[in-house]
Structure 1
C-alpha cells in the first residue's frame, strides 16, 4: 500500500511538472501567461478580519480571471495546448481543444488602469473615501502576476440620518416607516446599504398605494465634510419626481380575460362582453370557467388601496390553479386626471384541457436484480369548470434475477390511482380561505395496488383519502386528511412461504391483513426555500391517528378478548408521531455543516396490540443510514434468519436517528463529507 501511494504521488508530481512546462511553451512571442492578482493592504486602519474580507472582495473583482486549475494544475490550458491545431472542430482534437480546454489568459489582456479604478471605486462605496490603489505587474519565467497595493485610510461612520420634513403626503408616508431604516447611526457608510434603503422605502410605498413610485425618485445625500471621519445622511424626494408617482392609487374595476390568446385581436378583449360577479368583470363568452374560481383567486377588491402584496398574490394564485399556461396583468390609470384610480386587467392563456404522458425506467442492482417500470398518466384540467384537476395514473413494473440466490423469486407490481383536486376548501357549512399566494386545495384520492412475488405470495391493497392542503407562506405548508383508509390483504400465499413464516414472526407480519381507517396531519417548515443565507432550518412533522371513532363505537379492547372487526376485517387502532428536524449552517462558500434528527413514536391501543406492519418504523437505505440496506438495520443485535433466501425486516414502534456531517467542496465538481 505504501509503495502504491508513493507511485501515485510521483506520477502526479510528474504530470504537474509537464503541465507547468506546457502552459507557457506555446505562448505568442513577447507574451506572458497571466496567473492572477494579489491584493496587498498596507494600512493598519482595518482590523484583520476586515482586511481579509476586503482582500477577498477585491481579488474577485479583478479582470481577467486566470486559467482554471485543479490542485494547482492548469488542466484545461494543458488540454488546449495538447490538442495542437486540429483541422476539424468536430474531431477528437477539436473536442479536446474547444470543449475541454481553454486558451491561455495573457498578460496583455490585463487593463491595469481599469482594474485600479474598479478597486478604488469599490473601496469608496464601502466608506473608505480616501482610499488609494496602485497596481504593478511581476514577470517571472514567462508568467505575470499583478500585485495591487491598497491604502484604505479610515472608514467613514454614519453620524446622523435625517428624513426630510416636507408636508406632502408622499414624504409623510416615507417618514412613517423611518423607524425601520437600514441606515443606523454608528454603522460604517456602505453604498449597498444606501441602495437597500431606497428599495425598502419603495417596497413600503408600494404597500400604501404608490404604484408609480420608483427607487430612483429618492435621493440620499451624504455630507462627509463634518470631520472626524463621519458622514451625515439626508433622505428626501428628488425635485423632478412626476406627479403621478406622488399619488396613492386605489383599485377601480378588475377585468379578467380567461380565454386570452397571445395572438389576440382587439375583439378578444372587449369589455362589452364582460359579466359582473362579486366585484369582478369576467370576459368568458364560451362559459369555460365558473366566475367563482376567479373570486377565490383575486386578492384585489374594487375600492382597495393598491398594494404589491395583493398584486403578487393574485398572480401567484392564478398560476397555482394549474389550468393556465400564461398569466399576465396590466394596470391602467382611469382617464380622469383628478382621479387616483387604477383599472386592472388579467390576461389568462389556458393550458390544453387534456394531456397524456408516459414515463418509463429501467434499473439494475448489485444483487443481479434487473427491472423496469412504466407509468401512464392522464390529466383533465378544469373538469367541472371550476379549475378542478382530475389525474389518473396507471403503473406497472417488475424485477427479475436471472442468477444468484434469488433466481426465480421475481417481483411484479401494478397499480391504478385517481385523484381529483379542487382549488378551494370543500368543508360543509364552513367557508375558509388563506391569505397567501397559494390556492388552498381539497384532494380526493382512490387507488389500488397489487404486488406479486413469485413462489411466495400476492398482496393487494386499496387506498382512499379525503383531505386538504394549503400553504401559509412559501416556507410553511399543511396537509390534513380527516379520512384516510388503507386496506391490505393477501390473496395468495404459497406453501413454501407459509412453512418458513411458521417460525418467523417478521415473515408473518409481511402478509398479515391490515385495515387502517383514520386521519393524518403533516406540517412542513422549510427555511431553505429561496434562502441564500448562512443558516437554515427544516422541519417536517407527521401525526397519524387510526381507529379512534371505530374504537369508540365498537368498544374495542384487545385485553377483553377478541378484537373487533368492520366488514369482517380487524381494524387497527394507534397513534403515530414522527418528526424530521434538519439544521444547516453555511460555514464558508465551500463548507456546510448539516445536522439531522429523526424521532418517531407509535403507540397501539384499543383494538391493536402492535402497529400495523406498513406503519412501523425502519432504518437503512438511501434516505437513512446509507451503509445499510433498507429495513436491514435493527434494534440491538438480532439473529439473521437467512434461510431459504428469506431476509427478515427489522422494524419497530420507536425510532431515533441522528447524524451530523461536514460537507466540503474539494475541487471542481467533486464534493466530500465527513459524518457521524
Structure 2
C-alpha cells in the first residue's frame, strides 16, 4: 500500500512538472490566449433594446480559453488545464496508446492569432450600428502577462453612444401595385416615428410586406426587392427613412400569378421512380408501388388549387402539414412558369418516402431520494404513418428492479437490502396528426394538432408487502387555434387499480396509516378534463414574459348518474367491476411572470393553486389526485410531502408519516432572482411560500383543515416559508440546477416562539439537484 502511494505521488509530480509548461509547443511568434479582461462599457444604454444589442456584442467577442470553467472567458482551472497537459505531453507521439489519448483528451491551445480581436471588434461595431448606435465603436487591446511573455489576454472597450431614432418614415406608395394591396394592410407597420433604428426590424418589416404581396399572388416578389434609404444628416441624431423598390426588381415580380396544373410525385424509400398513378380532382398523383398516404389526406394538405392566386401561406401550410404526417423524409415544392405569355404557375410536389419503423432500447440505473436503487430496461417500437394518414403507433415494454440500501423499520428480520421490488409495464399509443371526429379526421391545421389514444398496464411487486396491478385507457385531444393559445381536452380517461397479495407486515402498516391504504386500495377512476394554456414567453422583443395554465377535471359523475337512474341511492357506495369508483371535481391554476431586467438578470414569479372536492360515491379523493408541497420545484427549503396539511404536526417517530401530508386545497407562491455569475453559470436567490389544507376536519390530522384556520392571522401563520440560493449551468439544450433551501417558518407549533420558529437550523435545509428551471 505504501509503495502504491509513492508511485501515485511520483506520477502526480511528473504530471505537474510537465503540465507547468503550457507554452512548451507554441509556434514561433505566437502567444497563448488566456482569456478576456474586464470589458469596459462607456455610455451604457440600460433599455431593453440596448441590453439586447450588448448581448449580441458579447456573444461575438466571446472566445473561451483552454481550461475554462463553465464556458467562462476569464475563469479557468488553476495553473494548468488538463486538456493542455495532454496536448503538451503527447503531441507528435505516434505510438498507438499515445495517439488514442491525444485524440480523446487533448485540447489544442488557443492562440492569440486565433482570437482575431480586431476582426471581432469590427463585427461588434457593426452589430451596434445595426441596432441604431451609429456613433458606437469597439476597440481591442492585447495585454501580455508581465511574468510570462508567451501568454496574453484581450480586453475590449465598448463605446455605445446615444441611439438614433426615426424622425420620419416614407413608405412605399400604395400606387406601386395596381390592386393597392399596401393600402389594405391590416396590421400596423413594425417601424414608427420615434422608434429606435433597428436593422432587424427593417428586415422584418420588408419580410412582412413581401409575405403580404406573396399571399396575394406575387410569387416572384422577394424581400430583397424592397430597399431602404436612411439619411442621418438631415436631422442630427435622427434617421429619415425612405422605402423604395430595388432597381433590380424583375417585371414579373410586379404582377400576380395564378396556379395552373397540379402534380404530385411520390418517390419510394430509396428514391425509386413512380410505377403507377391516379387522379384526385384536378391533381395527378404518381407513386411507387402503392400509395403511402390516403389520397384524400394528400389532397386536403395540398393547399394549391387550379385557378386560385398563389399564396405563400398555402405553401407554408402545405410543407408543414405534410411534414407532420411523418411519412416523408424529403418534401419539395417546385413552381414553374407555364409559358412567356401567361401568368400561370404549374406546381409540382416531390417527396421521398421515409423509413416506416423506429426502435429504441434504453437501459438505466436509478438512485432515488428514498434510498432505493436498481437497474431498469425499456424497449420501444414505433410504426409511422401506419394507416396512411400520418398516424403513429408505438408499443413499449419495460421493467425495473429496486432494493433499499438503508436499514428497515424496527422489527425487521434483516437490517439491509430486505425491502425490494420489481415492476413491469407496457403500453400501446396511437396518435393522429388531426382531430379524430366525424368530418374532421383528414383536415389540416396550421398549428400542431394531435389526437392520442393510450392503453397501458403495469404490475408492481413489493417483496414482503404487497402487489399492485393497474390498467388504464385515455383519449386526448390537443390543438392550437393560434400561436399563444393551446387547448387540451380529455373526453375519457380511466384507471383501474387492483391491490393483490398483502402480507401481515403490510396490513399492520396500513392499519396505522389510513392514507397509505387509501392510495393503494382497489378502485376505479373514470375522468374527463380540460386544460387551457396561454404562452407569451418566447418573444425577445419584450422584457415581459407571461405563461398561464388552468385546468378543470371531474370523475365519476356520469357513471353515478347511470346508477341513480337504475335506482341506486345517492350516498350509497356503488361498485363498478367489483370496486368502488371515485367521484370528485378538481380545478387547478398557475400563472408565471418573468421580467427581464437586463441581458444578465431577470426576476421570475409564480402563483399556483388547486382544489379537489369529493362527494357522492366516495368522500375522499384518490391519493394520487391530492396535492402536496415541497421538493425541487416547490418550497425548496422542505422535502416532498414534509409540510401540511395546514398546521398539522407530523409524527416524527413514524416512518410513514409523510403519507399523511397531502391535502385537498393548495396555495403556493414563488419569487426568484436570476443573475449571471460567469460564463454559462448562473446564480439564483429565491423565496418560496405555500401549504396545503383539507376541506373538512380530520381527527387523525388535527389543524389540517381550512375550517380550523379561524382568522387571517392563523392563515398566514399556516403558510410555510423558505428562502435559498442556487446555481444553474446552462448547456443550451438543457439547464442543470442545484438549489439549497433554508426554512424560515414552519406552519405548526415547533416549540420556538416568534415567526422564525425553526428549532434547529440544520433541520430545515433542503438540497435539490434537478434538470430545468423550477418554473
Alignment TM class, shorter chain as reference: 0.7 to 0.9
1:220 corresponds to which of 211, 225, 228: 228
1:661 to 2:669 alignment: no
1:293-314 residue CA offsets vs partner (Å, 9 max, x unmatched)? 2234333333333222332222
1:105 to 2:112 alignment: yes
1:411 corresponds to which of 399, 421, 445: 421
1:576 matched residue in structure 2:
586
Paired residues for 1:397-436 under 5 Å: 397-401=400-404, 403-405=406-408, 407-428=417-438, 433=443, 435-436=445-446
Superposition TM-score, scaled by structure 2 size: 0.71
1:613 corresponds to which of 620, 623, 626: 623
Paired residues for 1:604-643 under 5 Å: 604-635=614-645, 636-640=647-651
1:7 matched residue in structure 2:
none
1:306 matched residue in structure 2:
310
1:670 matched residue in structure 2:
681
- Cα 1:85–1:206 change in 2 (3 A) is same
Looking at structure 1, the residues matched to 377 and 85 of structure 2 have their Cα atoms a distance apart, in angstroms, of: 46
Native 8 Å contact 2:519 2:622 kept in 1: no
How far off is 1:540 after superposition? 3.0
2:212 corresponds to which of 194, 197, 204: 204
SS of the equivalent of 2:559 reads helix
1:471 matched residue in structure 2:
480
1:256 to 2:264 alignment: yes
Looking at structure 2, the residues matched to 312 and 581 of structure 1 have their Cα atoms a distance apart, in angstroms, of: 33
Looking at structure 2, the residues matched to 653 and 281 of structure 1 have their Cα atoms a distance apart, in angstroms, of: 60
How far off is 1:415 after superposition? 1.9
Superposition TM-score, scaled by structure 1 size: 0.80
1:584-629 residue CA offsets vs partner (Å, 9 max, x unmatched)? 3333333332222221111112222121223222233444344544
Looking at structure 1, the residues matched to 109 and 175 of structure 2 have their Cα atoms a distance apart, in angstroms, of: 61
RMSD over aligned Cα atoms: 4.3
1:141-199 residue CA offsets vs partner (Å, 9 max, x unmatched)? 466877769696x8655333223447442793345439733332234544444333322
Paired residues for 1:112-511 under 5 Å: 141=146, 157-165=165-173, 167-169=175-177, 172-177=180-185, 180-261=188-269, 263-264=271-272, 267-268=273-274, 273-284=276-287, 285-324=289-328, 326-365=329-368, 368-401=371-404, 403-405=406-408, 407-428=417-438, 433=443, 435-438=445-448, 440-473=449-482, 475-511=484-520
1:11 matched residue in structure 2:
none
Looking at structure 2, the residues matched to 561 and 132 of structure 1 have their Cα atoms a distance apart, in angstroms, of: 79
Structure 2: gaps (5+ residues)? 1-19, 410-416, 688-775
SS of the equivalent of 2:284 reads strand
Paired residues for 1:514-593 under 5 Å: 514-528=523-537, 534-555=543-564, 561-593=571-603
How far off is 1:463 after superposition? 0.8
Structure 1: gaps (5+ residues)? 1-20
Native 8 Å contact 1:81 1:97 kept in 2: no
SS of the equivalent of 1:659 reads strand
- Cα 1:473–1:282 change in 2 (3 A) is farther
How far off is 1:484 after superposition? 1.5
SS of the equivalent of 1:502 reads helix
SS of the equivalent of 1:472 reads coil
SS of the equivalent of 2:491 reads strand
Looking at structure 2, the residues matched to 257 and 638 of structure 1 have their Cα atoms a distance apart, in angstroms, of: 71
1:312-343 residue CA offsets vs partner (Å, 9 max, x unmatched)? 2222222222333x132222224232333333
How far off is 1:559 after superposition? 8.6
- Cα 1:298–1:509 change in 2 (3 A) is same
1:5 matched residue in structure 2:
none
- Cα 1:434–1:610 change in 2 (3 A) is farther
Looking at structure 2, the residues matched to 368 and 132 of structure 1 have their Cα atoms a distance apart, in angstroms, of: 58
